[in-house]
Amino acid sequence: MADQTLKRTTRLRNLIKAGGPGIVPGATDCFTARIIEEAGFPVIYVTGGGTANTYLGGPDIGLVTLNELAGQVERISDAVSVPVIADCDTGFGGVANVKRTIRAYERAGAAGLHIEDQVFPKRCGHFDGKAVVSIEDMLYRLQAALDARTDPDFLIIARTDARGPEGFDSALERAHAYLELGADAIFVEAPSSREELERIGREFRGTPLIANMVERSRTPLLPEKELLAMGFNIILYANAALYLGSFAIRKGLEVLKKERTTESLLDRMTTFQERQQLIGLAKVDAAERELVERVKRRLKSGA
């Protein structure tokens, strides 16, 4: 059990030092984040791509702005008690923008973030058509991020998307350069085989590593146990909850359209009572009653 008195940034660092946290599901909203926390996962990821899909109804092609994504990070961080890691795309501009981004994410309550070396506007790391900036330009971004943080425990993850446009060896070269500059963790996006994942683990043994499990895409889905053994500490399932939810919604709406009632779906739906429990209605009501009674006592004692 994590020490809840510690800052969430420190708790995340401690999890990584212990070899984990392992699987980190992604949330696109506060309700999903609460479900992930309730399921017992010790860290939550705020997905930029999933936010674009759900907040804008658009693809992950750099459409989400700093304020939109930082706002989502703030709401999700406020809704849960576990550490939150967030996607910040390319940092939303030049080095001054990157500094602003880091400060915004710290204020939003994130425990860490990853920043990538794509050009702007970026594309999902598993899309075709990606392009990356020079190593030097990414080092400027990364140094700006490192300089801007005020909490030394705030985790800054350097992500490279060079595997597609430049090849695997180039991605590793970039990752080594980012680590040498001072990145806290390394994220080589979209390796295409078990062998590539194993090589990342060997080359960066002892360095905190991120693996991104994207279902039916470029990187093979491997069990958590195997990825941890390779040296990956954080195993993102960035949009698993989104895929699960959209699948269930689609199937349920098909039934509703056909049967004109949800009666046959009740055993596959969260109940009204479960919904209120998840969002903490009883706690909010109890706090309001306590406040009212406290004020009444004060007014009575002062009468």
Annotated catalytic residues are: 45, 60, 87, 89, 114, 116, 124, 159, 189, 212
DSSP letter, residue 116: E
Amino acid at 119: V
Q: How far is CA 261 from CA 249, 253, 265, 266, in A?
A: 14, 10, 9, 10
Show the 3-state SS of 140-200: HHHHHHHHHCCCCCCEEEEEECCHHHHCHHHHHHHHHHHHHHCCCEEEECCCCCHHHHHHH
Q: 247: buried, middle or exposed (CB in 10 Å: 19+, 13-18, 0-12)? A: exposed
CB-facing half-sphere around the CA of 72: CA atoms within 13 A: 28
Are the C-beta atoms of residues 159 and 133 closer than 8 Å to each other? no
Are the C-beta atoms of residues 179 and 151 closer than 8 Å to each other? no
Bridge partners (DSSP) of residue 54 are: none
Q: Give me the helix-helix angle, 135-148 and 95-108, nearest 10°.
A: 40
The residue ranges of DSSP E strands in the chain, in sequence order, are 22-27, 44-46, 84-87, 112-116, 155-160, 185-188, 209-212, 234-237
Determine how β-strand 84-87 pairs with β-strand 155-160. unpaired
Nearest to 1 by CA among 113, 81, 73, 111: 81
